[in-house]
Amino acid sequence: MRRLRTLSEAECYLRCYGGTDESVKVFRIERPELREVRLTGERLRRLFEQRLDLREQGVAA
């Protein structure tokens, strides 16, 4: 099937779901702000090295 033109998002929505219905409403739910935790790459690398060192000590024992 050959298309004459590209459909817009609104036209695609209408084709898939039909016309608008006043019984459907969209609400945006605001999420509470999470405590910001900054884990830098350097801090992550040090923690990883510590885990590796502990693992090597366990293998040597």
Q: What is the pLDDT of residues 2-57, one digit of tens each?
A: 778 888 888 888 888 876 667 767 778 887 776 777 788 899 999 999 999 998 88
Cβ contacts of 7 within 8 Å, gap of 6 or more? 15
List, for residues 47-56, the tens digit of each pLDDT value.
999 999 998 8
Dist CA 40 CA 42 (whole Å): 5
Q: Are 44 and 51 in contact (CB under 8 A)?
A: no
User: For position 53, what pLDDT does the model report?
Assistant: 92
Which SS3 state, helix, strand or coil, does residue 5 take? coil
First to last CA, the chain: 71
Dist CA 8 CA 16 (whole Å): 12
User: For position 18, what pLDDT does the model report?
Assistant: 76
User: For position 29, what pLDDT does the model report?
Assistant: 84
